[in-house]
Amino acid sequence: MATNDYPQLDVIAVGAHPDDVEIGCGGTLAQLVRQGYQVGIIDLTDGEPTPASSGPEERLAESLAAAEALGIQHRVTLDLPNRKLFDSYEARVKLATEFRKFRPRLVLGLGEKTPLASPDHWQAMQITDAAVFYSRLTKWDIDFTNLPPHTIAAQMYYTLESHRAAPLEGAGHMVVDIGETLAAKLAAVRCYKSQFPPEKQYIFPRIEAIASQLGHAAGYLAGELLVSPRTLGTRDLMGTLFDNV
């Protein structure tokens, strides 16, 4: 297996289930696509079973439609088990193998627990953290089907937690302007008809309210919060402050 068998992606967003990425950072991904970047999504599980879905085929079709709504160039669904997702060596290697294939510069992943919701989200965070590290390790090619190591330059977290006022913890916070892509984000989430039937339509005004609050805090119409595990810095203060004003 060779890396030239796979397109190089600038950004990969990782979720535990189809719809995690769309809810957490879908507007950011759509904005990156519009800016000309190659963007991919990796779902660790197919998200099944769930109460209202007919099965994995329906969920896969929904996830592909959602990716199209965001303009995503590539989407991968791993075969790890929904509801029984655990941070294991095998899970780490499977995700790190995808990182070695697609060689992203930036990885976006889940950043915290979601109490009273799926524990898979916390496990996904740990798997992603480990896979970013595993991706760059040398003298270990046989465990990664002889794909060469790849160093991921940056990693950031997104959140699915919407029931508390405290922000996601981290060393550096950033709000991404999604004023022009909020509609695409909402359209992508709406593709998951099996997950958001009429009795769960409250999710859409909630998404809009959170985006509006975050955007207002940063001076935008709508925003999404990303958090860096490392302190953010700049070599161009004026460019950082004023390029997007």
Q: What is the pLDDT of residues 176-215, one digit of tens each?
A: 999 999 999 999 999 999 999 999 999 999 999 999 999 9
Tell me the backbone φ, ψ of residue 168, rounded to 5 degrees. Answer: -60, 130
Q: What is the pTM of this model?
A: 0.95
Residue 61 half-sphere exposure toward CB, CA atoms < 13 A: 8
Q: Which pLDDT band, with edges at 50, 70 and 90, does 141 fall under? A: confident
Q: What's the pLDDT at 244?
A: 60
Q: What's the pLDDT at 159?
A: 96
Label the pairing between strands 74-80 and 106-110. unpaired
Q: Which CATH number fits domain 3-242: 3.40.50.10320, 3.40.640.10, 1.10.3720.10, 3.40.50.11900?
A: 3.40.50.10320
Angle of the 56-70 helix axis to the 20-34 helix axis, nearest 10: 30
DSSP-based three-state secondary structure for 67: helix
Q: What is the pLDDT of residues 30-77, one digit of tens each?
A: 999 999 999 999 999 999 999 999 999 999 999 999 999 999 999 999
Q: What's the pLDDT at 2?
A: 65
Q: What's the pLDDT at 110?
A: 98
Q: Tell me the two tokens of residue 186.
A: 């909402």
Q: What is the pLDDT of residues 105-138, one digit of tens each?
A: 999 999 999 999 999 999 999 999 999 999 999 9
DSSP-based three-state secondary structure for 74: strand
169 CB neighbour count, 10 Å cutoff: 12
Q: What's the pLDDT at 228?
A: 97
Question: DSSP character for 62?
Answer: H
